[in-house]
């Protein structure tokens, strides 16, 4: 799985959403949870989970699926989506966007193609990470 992230997100919000996604796996319902930090809406439909969180830090949305999710309209149009890529998770908060893609190519091929295509679109790659 390849993750593409644009703009740093608040770590505590990312961790909170990830924990909530894991905690709701297998649930077949919608619910709103009030926390000390704000409100969290969780909705699961089929194999897709949608989490919306509102707090003093702003609003965030996470959508994940075992099959495929739609790429949000807010995702930058000049970021290439490689042939055969299947979007599995999206997350947005303000101007920040994260898109996780599943690709049939190996990591080295995907990395090389993204390096070339992003630079051709004028993007500057400030950091990258290979987590195995």
> What is the reported pLDDT for 41?
93
Q: What is the pLDDT of residues 51-108, one digit of tens each?
A: 999 988 899 999 999 999 999 998 988 889 999 999 999 999 888 899 999 999 988 8
> What is the reported pLDDT for 129?
79
> What is the reported pLDDT for 7?
42
Question: Are 46 and 16 contacting, i.e. CB atoms less than 8 angstroms apart?
Answer: no
Question: Are 82 and 51 contacting, i.e. CB atoms less than 8 angstroms apart?
Answer: no
What's the rounded Cα separation, in Å, for the pair 116 and 96?
Answer: 23
Q: What is the pLDDT of residues 68-78, one digit of tens each?
A: 999 999 898 88
Q: What is the pLDDT of residues 20-35, one digit of tens each?
A: 555 555 556 789 988 8
């Amino acid at each position: 799985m390849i993750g593409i992230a644009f703009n740093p997100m608040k770590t505590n919000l990312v961790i909170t959403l990830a924990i909530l996604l894991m905690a709701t796996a297998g649930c077949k319902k919608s619910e709103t949870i009030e926390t000390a930090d704000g409100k969290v809406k969780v909705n699961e439909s089929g194999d897709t989970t949608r989490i919306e969180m509102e707090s003093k830090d702003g609003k965030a949305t996470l959508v994940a699926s075992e099959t495929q999710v739609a790429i949000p309209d807010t995702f930058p149009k000049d970021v290439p989506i490689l042939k055969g890529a299947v979007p599995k998770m999206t997350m947005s908060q303000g101007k920040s966007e994260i898109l996780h893609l599943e690709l049939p190519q190996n990591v080295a091929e995907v990395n090389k193609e993204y390096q070339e295509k992003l630079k051709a679109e004028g993007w500057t790659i400030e950091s990258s990470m290979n987590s195995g």
